[in-house]
Chain A
Amino acid sequence: MLVPSLVDGLLLGFVYGIAAMGLSLIWGVMNVINLSHGPIIALGMFGVYLVFNAIGLNPYLTLVLVAVMGLLLGILIYWVAVHRVINAPHLSTLLATFSVNMIIVGIGTAVFTTSPRNVDFTLGSIAFGPITLPWTRILAAVAAAVVTALLYLFLYRTPPGKAIRAVTDNRAAAELMGIPTNWMLALSFGLGTMLAAISGGLIATFFPFTILAGGSYELKSFVICVLGGLGNPLGALIGGLLLGALEGIIPAFMETSWVPVLEFILFVLILLVRPQGLLGSKT
C-alpha cells in the first residue's frame, strides 16, 4: 500500500521540482521572491486546458506554446513590476510581485470563475508488478526531466545562459563586461515563469484545477526551494522529489488535509535548522 503511493509521490515530485526550479532561478539570480509564482502555474494549467478544448491538441505539444507564453509573460512582469524596485528593500519586490499575483487571480477569477476545470486527457495506465501507474504521470516525470536537462544545457552551454550566470555572480562586473544585465534579468525572470507555466501544464494533465489552485503549489515551491537550497536548480529538483515522496507517504498515516500544516512546519524547521538547504545555496 505504501509503495504505490510513494512511487506516485515521486513522479509528482518531479513536476513539483520543475515549479520550484522556476522560483529558485529567479530567487538565485536577482534575489527576488516571485510571489506571482502560484497564479502563473494556474495560468499554465488554463493554457493547456483552453487549447485542448479548442483544438484538441495533445497537451504535451501544447506545453511548448505554454512555455513560450510563460517566458513572454515573465519578461513583461519583470519590466512592468520588478525593474523599478529591484534595488529597493526586499519589502518592495515582495509587494510588487504580490500585486501581480492579485491582478492575475482577480482577472482570472472574473474570466474563468472558480468552478473546477479538468483536462479530459487519459492515456491509460501501465502495471509494473504490484504498482499501476497512469501514463500521464510517467510522461509528466519524463517531460520534467527533459526540461531540467534543457535548462542545464541552456545555462551552461549557451552564451545567454552564461551571461545569466555571470549576472548572478556579480552584476556590476557583468555590466562592465558588456552584458546588458537588465535584459538578462528579464530573461531569467521569464525562464522562471516559463518553468512555472510548464509545471502547471503538466499538473493539468492529471488533477482538476481552478485559478486558485496555484496557491498550494506556490507554498510547496517555497518549501522545496529552502529544502534544496536557494538558487540551486538541482537542489530544487531533489527537494521536489523529497516533498513528493513525503506527500505520498503521509496519507497512510493521517488525513491529507493536514498536509499544509506539515509543509509549514517543515518549512520553518529547515529555515531554523539548516537555512542553506540540503545542497547549499548559491551564496
Chain B
Amino acid sequence: MSKQLKSPGLWISLVIVAAFGLWPVLAGNKAYARETTFTILKAVALASSLNILLGYTGYVSFGHIVFFGLGGYVGFYLMRQYNAHLALAVLAGGLSAALLAFLLGKAILRLRGAYFALATIGVNEAVRAFIKNFDPLGGPIGMTLNFQVYKAYGGPDRALWIAYIATALLTLVIVLVSFLVKTSRFGLGLMAIRENEDAAEVMGVVAPNAKTWAYVLSALFPGMIGVLFFFKNGNIEPGDAFVLHQSIEAIVMVMLGGQGTVLGPIVGAAAYQRLRGLLLVSPLFKNIQLAVAGVLLLVIVLFVPAGVIGWLRGRFPRLRRVLE
C-alpha cells in the first residue's frame, strides 16, 4: 500500500482536486466561487464513482443518478423528521444508496452488458415513480427543511461552507478510493471482467461478488454527496432528485476524460462543466445543450473511445506513470 501511495499519478489527481477545493477559499467573490466549485466537485465525485462501474468493470449504468437521489432522500428525511446531525445523515444516505445498489445488484448484475444497461434505464424511472407515490417521503411535492435546522450549524452561511468543505473532502476520498481500487487485486479482477467476463471467472475472479462490490462502491459516494446537495438546497422533490439527464452527463464526463483512469473523470468533469457553463450563457446554444453533449459523446465514442487521458496515455507511453 505504501508503494502505491508514492505514485505520482495519485498525487497529481489529489492535488488537482484540492486546488479546485481551495479556490473558493482564496478567491474574491467567495460565494460565487464556492457554488461553481461545488457543482464541479459534485460532478467529479459522480463521474469518479461511475468510473468504478463503467471504466473498471465495463458495465454501463444509465441510471446512476438514482443513488444520488435516494441517498439525498434518506438523509433529508432523517434531518427533517429526527433532527439528525448532518454527518449522521450523510452516512445514512451513503449507506442506504449502497444498500439499494446491493439489492439491485443481486437482481440485475447477472444480466450481461446491454441488458444490464437497459435495466438501469428502467431503474431510474421505476424509483422516481415509486418515490412520487410514496407519501411518507413527501410524494410528488417532496420535502422541505425547516430553516431553523441551519441554526444548529451556526447559521445558513456557515452551513453552506460546512457542506462545501465536506463535499471537497469526500471528493478527495473518492479519488483516492478510485486509485486504490485501480491498483489493487480487486481492481485487477474488475478490469479482467471488463475485458472478458468468462475468462476472468476461469482465472478465479468470483465475478458476481466482484461486480456487486463495484456497484456498491460506486453508489456509496453519490449517496453521500446527494445528502450534502439537498441539505444546501433546503428542499427535495422527485423531479430534482432523479434527473436522468445527470446520469447521462456523468457518462459523458467519464467517456470524455477517459474511462478506466483516475484522472480521466476529473478532467472530464471539469471540462464538461466548463463547456456547460459556456453553453448556458450563449443564447444560441442554451436550448440545445443536450444535443451538444450528444454530439460530443458520439464523436468520443466513434473516434476517441479512450477519452482525453486514455488517448494521452496511448500516445505518450512515458506519461503513464504520471497520468493514472
- The interface of chain A, by Cβ under 8 A from chain B, is 33, 81, 84-85, 88-92, 94-96, 98-107, 109-110, 215-216, 219, 222, 226, 255, 257-261, 263-265, 267-268, 271-272, 275
- Chain B residues numbered 202-245 whose CB sits less than 8 Å from any CB in chain A: none
Bound-complex Cα distance A109 to B293 (A): 14
| B residues in contact with A88, CB < 8 Å | 305
Instruction: For the complex of A and B, list the 7 residue pairs with the smallest distance between their C-beta atoms, beginning with the closest.
Output: A106-B291, A102-B294, A106-B290, A110-B287, A103-B294, A264-B126, A99-B298
Contact yes or no, B110 A272, CB < 8 A: yes
Asked whether A268 and B108 contact (CB < 8 A) given A90-B114, A109-B290, the answer is yes
Is the CB of B295 closer than 8 A to any CB of chain A? yes
Give B122's nearest chain A residue, CB to CB: A264
Bound-complex Cα distance A98 to B290 (A): 12
Contact yes or no, B121 A255, CB < 8 A: no
Is the CB of B180 closer than 8 A to any CB of chain A? no
| A residues in contact with B290, CB < 8 Å | 102-103, 105-106, 109
Contact yes or no, B291 A103, CB < 8 A: yes
Is the CB of B133 closer than 8 A to any CB of chain A? yes
| B residues in contact with A94, CB < 8 Å | 60, 114, 117
30 example contacts (A-B, Cβ-Cβ < 8 A) are as follows A33-B114, A81-B302, A84-B302, A89-B113, A90-B113, A90-B114, A95-B251, A95-B297, A96-B298, A96-B302, A98-B251, A99-B294, A99-B301, A102-B297, A103-B294, A103-B298, A106-B289, A106-B292, A219-B125, A222-B122, A257-B133, A259-B129, A260-B122, A260-B125, A261-B126, A264-B122, A264-B125, A267-B122, A271-B108, A272-B110
- Chain B residues numbered 95-130 whose CB sits less than 8 Å from any CB in chain A: 107-108, 110-111, 113-115, 117-119, 121-123, 125-126, 128-130
Partner of A91, one of B58, B111, B115, B123: B58
Query: Chain B, 245-274, contact with A by CB distance < 8 Å: what is the 0/1 string?
Result: 000100100010000000000000000000
Is the CB of B320 closer than 8 A to any CB of chain A? no
| B residues in contact with A85, CB < 8 Å | 301-302
Is the CB of B16 closer than 8 A to any CB of chain A? no
Bound-complex Cα distance A90 to B123 (A): 20
Closest Cβ of chain B: how far from A221's Cβ, in Å?
10
| B residues in contact with A92, CB < 8 Å | 301, 305
Closest Cβ of chain B: how far from A170's Cβ, in Å?
21
Is the CB of B276 closer than 8 A to any CB of chain A? no
Contact yes or no, A261 B129, CB < 8 A: yes
Bound-complex Cα distance A267 to B251 (A): 23
Give A113's nearest chain B residue, CB to CB: B287
| B residues in contact with A261, CB < 8 Å | 126, 129-130
Bound-complex Cα distance A215 to B245 (A): 12
Is the CB of B199 closer than 8 A to any CB of chain A? no
Asked whether A257 and B123 contact (CB < 8 A) given A102-B290, A103-B294, the answer is no
| A residues in contact with B130, CB < 8 Å | 258, 261
| A residues in contact with B113, CB < 8 Å | 89-91
| A residues in contact with B123, CB < 8 Å | 264
Contact yes or no, A106 B255, CB < 8 A: no
Closest Cβ of chain A: how far from B221's Cβ, in Å?
22
- For A105, A106, A263, the residue with the greatest tally of chain B CB atoms inside 10 Å of its CB is A106
Bound-complex Cα distance A263 to B293 (A): 29
Is the CB of B5 closer than 8 A to any CB of chain A? no
Is the CB of B275 closer than 8 A to any CB of chain A? no
Bound-complex Cα distance A50 to B192 (A): 51
Contact yes or no, A95 B60, CB < 8 A: yes
Closest Cβ of chain B: how far from A129's Cβ, in Å?
35
| B residues in contact with A257, CB < 8 Å | 129, 132-133
Bound-complex Cα distance A105 to B114 (A): 22
Partner of B298, one of A100, A222, A263: A100
Contact yes or no, B294 A101, CB < 8 A: yes
| B residues in contact with A106, CB < 8 Å | 287-294
Partner of A96, one of B132, B289, B301: B301
Closest Cβ of chain B: how far from A41's Cβ, in Å?
15
Closest Cβ of chain B: how far from A269's Cβ, in Å?
9
Asked whether A110 and B291 contact (CB < 8 A) given A81-B298, A85-B302, A267-B119, the answer is yes
Bound-complex Cα distance A12 to B129 (A): 22
- Given A88-B305, A222-B118, 12 more A-B residue pairs with CB atoms under 8 Å apart are A33-B118, A92-B301, A98-B248, A103-B291, A104-B291, A106-B290, A109-B287, A109-B288, A258-B133, A261-B129, A263-B126, A272-B111
